Structure 1
Amino acid sequence: MENVAKLDEILEEKGYDKTKLIKWIISILMMFTPMLIQINENYTGNIRTFFMITILVIMIWAFELMPLAAPALVLPIVYVSFGLATPAQAFSPWTTEMPWLFIGGMIISNVFDRTGLMKRMAITAIKIAGGTYRGILLGFLIVGLILCIIIPSTAARTTLFLPIAYGIITALGLKKNTKEAIAIMATSSFMALTPWTIVDGINLIAYSIAKNFGVNLSWAAYMKEMGLMTFILSCVYIGAVLFFYRGNAEIFRKENNFKTKDYFEKEYSKLGKITIGEKKVMLVLGVMVTILCTSSIHNVSAGWVFAIGAFCFYLPGINVADEKDIKSVNMAMIILMTGAMTIGAVSMATGTGAFIGRILTPFLKGSSFEIVSVSWLIGVIVNFLLTPLAAASALTQPLVEAAIENGISPTVILNSYAVGLEQIIFPYEYVLPLMMFSYGIMTLKEFVKIYLLKMILSLIFLLVVCVPYWGILGLL
């Protein structure tokens, strides 16, 4: 005990964080675990080295030992230095549409927010839905559907939705940890995080990697395969929330409906009349959505649409963006996401993806229900260890290869996997739900309950609705 106390004293004098030091030790020990497996014709030296480097980076991310973008910045350099890939392979994610889509999307999001159009749209959606308890939840559904098309960043949508939800809860005098407050806060998070389109977070990374295997899915094709299903699933989420978290608070009683409606009327009136700038933003966004919806005709990549759309905001005659909108782009997030994609690129170069794919192949056999269930379950399990974006990058290639090996549509596997990755139980698993939890509206017990409900519903929906639907489309 004296030695332990002395060590604590030395660490404190040296300015070390004991907990952080322990995490570093665990991370380094985990890095060496691939060395426990003997090298053979399948498990090559390059694969082992790849695992060691990647595990260390993943542990740094998981323990948040440094800013998340820092290891992502040097990851491709490290891979190249160890001879695991050529510079062209390691840095290939920067040549895809992904970075440009997110840069363009963030600029658009900044302009959308600064002009007030984003909040106007959210308040309008809630007003249209009635402004009641049910209307508030449906309003988040409506605006979530619209914003996911024009703002690919789940972080941007989350930072919009959460303050609005918290403002509603506070203004209506709802107490913390009540059913109504939990429902409003959780629904705002669900609708902000759900990857509705192919250009949204998890899907963008997964399908960018899948292109290397001939999986080319247009924006319109994705909306047909999974976009419609995601919308229906979101309706199921809200229906379940309304059933299990009924709005019995006095403010939501029928005789008090005028009070809630009056609140949203006042919030809308604060925004004033719609400005010329907002109309210009809507015009550009309308053209962008039209191009995205017709992508199967002209084959223009979604990434270029967002980049060009952001550029158009600066054109004479439109001129609704300024220098701050570019400067406020979160480059750390771009570096993080591109670094995560580097894992997939180098996994392919070293044969690691094929190695993992051979391990997964036996599990992705059987009936359609078994295949979808296993794909979903892999996403849920991996999500305990990695962020959804890193997980999408790490396992997309092996899952696609396993799907091709078994004669299954890769899109079915990727869609089921994405729904699994979206599920969490504890706040620490993903920083954006953690932001929601940090508002203190619900206890950890209530957080686990409502997210567990969401998880169970997602699997039931995949098996009961998606499997038959994908069968009709000829995907299963």
Structure 2
Amino acid sequence: MGKNSKESPRKNSSLAGNQIWKWAITLLLPMIIALIPVTDIFTSDIKWFLVITVMAVAIMATGVIPLIAISLALPILYFILLDIPTSLALSPWTGQIPWLVLGGFIVTIASQKTGLLNRLAYHSILLFGGNFKGIIFGLLIVGILLAAVIADPSAKAILLGTLTLGICTALNLELGSKSAAALGATVIAVTLGPSFLFSHAIGNMVVFEVASDVGVSLPPAPEYFTHMLIPQLIYILLTVLVIFIVFKPDEKIESKQYFKEQLKQLGPMRINEKKLVAITILLIFAILTSGIHGIDVGWLFAIAAILMFLPGIALVKEEDLSKVNFTIIFFAVACLSIGLVSVELGVAGLAQSLASPWLRGGGLEVIPGIWMFGFLINFLLTPLAGWTAFTAPLVELARDLNINPLPVLYSYIQGLEQVLFPYEYATLLIIFGFGMMSMGQFIKYNLVRAVISGVAIAVLFIPYWYLIGLL
């Protein structure tokens, strides 16, 4: 008791010290920007836009104010302090992104309630032999299937992390061991990589929501597949295969009987699972034919979510909405506001003038630099903020260099997907929070994964894009 009472003041003092440092960083960065003199390019509006935005992003990164509070405040600050029209600052609410994320969360809830995800996972694992390799490749199949119907990576991280942690527990794998770390790394690989097999990945949707304001649209799903499917599949497979090298288990793990027993306990496929399968098939078909019927993907996810509430289907109920992470939706809207307001104020011109001296030449020279820029900016911004903040400048840069903006944006998205530390990306923070990997193991795998991505851009994606005439 006495020991605890002695430690408590020290702990409180340490926490207070951390808060002071966080506030110092949050306030110092915008103050430095505020002291920069105004020029013809660095106008007063751009300067105060950056002051507001950098402070908001610093608050998001340090957590000194709840995320939902700063997400609500950011667009309001834009139209109060910068005289930005409310119709622009709040326009993301009239777009498809918030409804895409909300629909994805509701699909996630239905997947959890019906048990369909577990059934798919167990079948996939047994398809690959039911052993340790079978678990990893089975999770890869599940990750690809989830990416087809759930755009938000955080939702997939929760589903796959919960499922995989349960497997670790059932097989008595010690958390932090090579075996558990291998499964944790697999969750990272199959949560992030498969998303960009599909045009409706949240990164694509957010980037091209901003890019549409400068005349670049997200290609329809079939065309997007021709751009990304083959190189992205190879990249994903490499990030999975390297797990067997980085985290080779010390012991032989045989789990076939366990998964057979789990399937037996699930019994025959239930009616609610069949309903979810039917809605999922309809959703995928609607996404693939969006170029014909003209309904944006975000609205299709919202429609799928609404169907799940209808009488006779009832896969989710009103009380299930308490499980939706509404903070992520407000955060997405705030980040979209950053991109839209930056376009309105001409931040693209400033960024372009700063970046153009070291981004010169054709696609072969520029695109690896764009990937590296995305990778480095992740240390300062979350991927969601990065997706919006520099999209318009990169489009203008591509046009100046006479390069198709599509591979430039694809490469930027790929770079932003690579992180080394959990704080950089909420999705990976969720996965790390399951405890399957130590911090050292987490950094080790993500460093290897980033190297694979960078090399793949140079020797796989770029030659492929030249081959199909995209570059």
Task: Show the counterpart of 1:200.
Answer: 201
The 3 A distance-change label for structure 1 pair 223 and 325 is farther
Cα displacement string for residues 399-429 of structure 1 (whole angstroms, at most 9, x for unaligned residues): 1121122111111111111111111112222
Task: Show the counterpart of 1:22.
Answer: 21
Which one-letter code corresponds to 2:330 in the other structure? I
Q: In the alignment, does 2:81 pair up with 1:68?
A: no
Count matched residues: 460
Question: Which of 227-236 and 409-418 deviates more?
Answer: 227-236
Task: Show the counterpart of 1:167.
Answer: 166
Task: Show the counterpart of 2:448.
Answer: 453
CA distance, structure 2, for counterparts of residue 353 and residue 188 of structure 1: 36
Cα displacement string for residues 14-41 of structure 1 (whole angstroms, at most 9, x for unaligned residues): 9992321232122112111123322121
Cα displacement string for residues 108-148 of structure 1 (whole angstroms, at most 9, x for unaligned residues): 11112111112222222212222122111111111111111
Which one-letter code corresponds to 1:224 in the other structure? T
CA distance, structure 2, for counterparts of residue 307 and residue 342 of structure 1: 21
Give the drift of 1:249: 1.3
Give the drift of 1:221: 2.2
CA distance, structure 2, for counterparts of residue 12 and residue 377 of structure 1: 39
2:210 touches 2:339 (CA, 8 Å); kept in 1? yes
The 3 A distance-change label for structure 1 pair 353 and 160 is same
2:40 match: secondary structure: coil
Gap runs ≥5 in structure 1:
1-9, 252-258
Q: In the alignment, does 2:209 pair up with 1:214?
A: no
Equivalent runs, 1:107-256 vs 2, <5 Å: 107-194=106-193, 195-216=196-217, 217-251=219-253
Q: In the alignment, does 2:280 pair up with 1:282?
A: no
CA distance, structure 2, for counterparts of residue 432 and residue 309 of structure 1: 24
Task: Show the counterpart of 1:254.
Answer: none
Which one-letter code corresponds to 1:262 in the other structure? Q
Question: Which of 21-30 and 242-251 deviates more?
Answer: 242-251
Cα displacement string for residues 217-273 of structure 1 (whole angstroms, at most 9, x for unaligned residues): 22332222124332221111112222343345132xxxxxxx411111122223222
Which one-letter code corresponds to 1:245 in the other structure? F
CA distance, structure 2, for counterparts of residue 442 and residue 11 of structure 1: 29
Question: Which of 452-461 and 420-429 deviates more?
Answer: 420-429
The 3 A distance-change label for structure 1 pair 213 and 399 is same
Give the drift of 1:291: 1.1
Cα displacement string for residues 448-473 of structure 1 (whole angstroms, at most 9, x for unaligned residues): 21111101111111111111111122
Q: Give 1:417's match in structure 2, choosing from 369, 389, 412.
A: 412
The 3 A distance-change label for structure 1 pair 23 and 91 is same
CA distance, structure 2, for counterparts of residue 228 and residue 300 of structure 1: 26
Q: In the alignment, does 2:353 pair up with 1:358?
A: yes
2:150 touches 2:156 (CA, 8 Å); kept in 1? yes
1:198 touches 1:207 (CA, 8 Å); kept in 2? no
Which one-letter code corresponds to 2:211 in the other structure? A
Gap runs ≥5 in structure 2:
1-8
Question: Which of 448-457 and 264-273 deviates more?
Answer: 264-273
CA distance, structure 2, for counterparts of residue 234 and residue 451 of structure 1: 13
Give the drift of 1:12: 11
CA distance, structure 1, for counterparts of residue 250 and residue 12 of structure 2: 56
2:48 touches 2:82 (CA, 8 Å); kept in 1? no
Give the drift of 1:84: 4.3
2:198 touches 2:224 (CA, 8 Å); kept in 1? yes
2:362 touches 2:403 (CA, 8 Å); kept in 1? no
CA distance, structure 2, for counterparts of residue 394 and residue 153 of structure 1: 19
Task: Show the counterpart of 1:51.
Answer: 50
The 3 A distance-change label for structure 1 pair 108 and 12 is closer
Question: Which of 10-19 and 298-307 deviates more?
Answer: 10-19
CA distance, structure 2, for counterparts of residue 73 and residue 229 of structure 1: 38
Identity of matched residues, %: 33
Question: Which of 355-364 and 452-461 deviates more?
Answer: 355-364
Q: In the alignment, does 2:54 pair up with 1:42?
A: no
CA distance, structure 2, for counterparts of residue 279 and residue 406 of structure 1: 51
Which one-letter code corresponds to 2:421 in the other structure? F
Q: Give 1:300's match in structure 2, choosing from 281, 284, 295.
A: 295
Q: Give 2:310's match in structure 1, choosing from 289, 296, 315.
A: 315
Which one-letter code corresponds to 1:241 in the other structure? I
1:144 touches 1:192 (CA, 8 Å); kept in 2? yes
The 3 A distance-change label for structure 1 pair 84 and 184 is same
Task: Show the counterpart of 1:33.
Answer: 32
The 3 A distance-change label for structure 1 pair 13 and 117 is closer
Task: Show the counterpart of 2:6.
Answer: none
| CA RMSD between the two structures | 2.2
TM-score normalised by L of structure 1: 0.92
The 3 A distance-change label for structure 1 pair 335 and 379 is same
Give the drift of 1:398: 1.2
CA distance, structure 2, for counterparts of residue 80 and residue 154 of structure 1: 30
Give the drift of 1:326: 3.1
Cα displacement string for residues 156-194 of structure 1 (whole angstroms, at most 9, x for unaligned residues): 111111122222223223334433221111111221123
1:129 touches 1:138 (CA, 8 Å); kept in 2? yes
The 3 A distance-change label for structure 1 pair 48 and 119 is same
The 3 A distance-change label for structure 1 pair 130 and 337 is same
2:242 match: secondary structure: helix
Q: In the alignment, does 2:308 pair up with 1:348?
A: no
Q: In the alignment, does 2:262 pair up with 1:267?
A: yes
2:197 match: secondary structure: coil
Which one-letter code corresponds to 1:283 in the other structure? A
CA distance, structure 2, for counterparts of residue 103 and residue 273 of structure 1: 30
Question: Which of 354-363 and 91-100 deviates more?
Answer: 354-363
Q: In the alignment, does 2:374 pair up with 1:379?
A: yes
